Amino acid sequence: MKITEVQSPFINETFLSENIYEIDAHGTPLIEIVEDDIFVHFLYFGDEATTSVHVLGSFPGWDLQEGEMIKVEGKQVWVKSYKTDSPFASTYYFSVNDNFAEDDWGSRFEHLITDPRNPNKLVFSEVPTDKVTSEISYITVNEPLQSMELTNQNPNVYKEVFNSNVLNNQRNLWIYDPFKNSSTPKKLLIVFDGSQYTEAIPVPNMMDQLYEEGKIPPTVMVGVDSPNRFSELMGNEQFSGFLTEELLPWIRKNFHVSHHPEDVTLCGASLGGLTAFYSALNHPNYFGNVLCQSGSFNHKKLKDDQHWSVHFLESQPVAPVRIYMNAGRLEMQDLLSANSLTYEALRSKGFEVKYRLFNGGHDLLWWRETFLEGLEYLFCEG
């Protein structure tokens, strides 16, 4: 999938004025499809206080210099246009008056804004049950997003606070157990970055949909938050010990769930996907399924070893663990390559694995869109 910057026709003040009604009617960005090419025109309408604007996201990319928009002479309007050769869907942001150091992405992320003229926004609570919502603008071109039709909130999700002696810390758990009176043991779905998988990715409502369609049996979801992702979700054996020695016994004590590993799924995105993979393959007697979205296999778990996941698999016996994994064509190349190599290593080793490439990047939008497919594969096709 190629993305090329092209000169924006809207840089011409006359052309901009002639098309202002279309902009007002359809919102931004504007899309043109010419034969096999797709043109995407980003526009930002600022004011006298606006000095610079950058557009950033999986599309068109996260390079600050390349994302700098161009001001239309005589207007408080900034424009940027791109050409691509493939359908895609992506979230994106504007960085207005960006005076941060080039590598200060922490401060920059805090000040990113949505596109005021784009009606397509994913709205959700960062913390379930919180009335404060977050918004992300998104664009989709010839790439239908069926998951956007789902309701985000589910009133039956509730919070438990869990104290860990193994990790010496405390975290929130997000519980969804709609089948409290089930006479048979239920399946168990454990998701990392749990708050993300309740509304932004509405897993409870996805579970309801599959159950109503007769595709999955009663299932309990436990969403696990992490007070420190970058220490816990990096192939951390101490964290795996927390899962097997503390969390799983607590779940089994409090919920009527199956004790068979083939009925237990670990799920996560990015570092959460890496952790689901690592924990299940190290403990297949507890966890029999992995749903890994844009897994960060490019992180060097072992010093100076970019391909640690491949070398890890070489030392592991084949285990009865089924794996669904995916990544986007607009991911960082290191991550995309690491996922491809991990998939090939799993296949050659003899694991049961499905790998999906999607037309997007390291993006909440696509983790939401592909989750249902992963759940169906692990729960329905087994």
User: In Å, what is the CA distance from 310 to each residue of 17, 66, 82, 292, 340?
Assistant: 55, 34, 36, 16, 10
Which residue blocks in 121-201 are alpha helix, DSSP H?
A: none
Mean pLDDT (whole number) for 296-314: 81
To which H or E segment does residue 88 belong?
strand 88-96
Residues 292, 296: Cα–Cα separation, whole Å: 9
Closest CA to 58 of 336, 363, 366: 363
**What is the rounded distance in angstroms from the CA atom of residue 354 to the CA atom of residue 149?**
25
Question: Residue 271 — pLDDT band, cuts 50, 70, 90?
Answer: very high
User: 129 pLDDT exceeds 80?
Assistant: no
Reported as type and span, the H/E element at residue 16 is helix 13-18
What integer pLDDT is reported at residue 302 of this predicted model?
Answer: 60
Which residue has tokens 């992180």?
Answer: 299
Q: In this predicted structure, what is the pLDDT of residue 175?
A: 97
**Mean pLDDT throughout 299-312?**
77
CA distances to 33, 37, 145, 295, 353 from 359, rounded to whole Å, are 17, 15, 11, 16, 20
98: its two tokens: 């960006």
Torsional sign, CA 190, 191, 192, 194:
negative
pLDDT of residue 218: 93
In angstroms, the CA 62 to CA 58 distance is 7
What tokens does 304 get? 């100076």
Tokens 């004790």 belong to residue: 259
Task: Give the pLDDT of residue 303.
Answer: 59
Q: Mean pLDDT in the chain? A: 93
Q: Which residues pair with 80 in a beta bridge?
A: 42
- pLDDT given at position 25: 83
Least Cα distance to 146 among 195, 192, 202 occurs for 202
Residue 382 clears pLDDT 60, i.e. is over it: no
Write down the pLDDT at residue 243: 98
Q: What is the mean pLDDT of residues 132-141?
A: 91
- The predicted structure's pLDDT at residue 283: 97
When pLDDT is averaged across residues 19-42 and rounded to a whole number, the result is 91
Answer yes or no: are the C-beta atoms of 83 and 114 closer than 8 Å.
no
Q: In the chain, what percentage of residues exceed pLDDT 90?
A: 82
What integer pLDDT is reported at residue 141 of this predicted model? 95
Find the mean pLDDT for residues 214-231: 94
Instruction: Tell me the per-residue pLDDT of 2-24, one tens digit each, with 9 for 90 and over.
Output: 999 999 999 998 888 888 888 88
What pLDDT digit, counting tens, does each position of 174-201 carry?
Answer: 999 998 888 899 999 999 999 999 999 9
Question: What are the tens digits of pLDDT across the range 324-356?
Answer: 999 999 999 999 999 999 999 999 999 999 999
Please give the DSSP secondary-structure letter assigned to residue 294. Answer: S
pLDDT digits (tens, 9 = 90+) for 54-90: 999 999 999 999 999 999 999 999 999 999 999 999 9
Question: What are the tokens at 323?
Answer: 């794996």
Domains and CATH numbers, the chain: 3-142 (2.60.40.10), 149-380 (3.40.50.1820)
Question: Considering the chain, what percentage of its residues have pLDDT values greater than 70?
Answer: 97
Say if residue 116's pLDDT is above 90: yes
* pLDDT-based confidence at residue 381 (cuts at 50, 70, 90): low
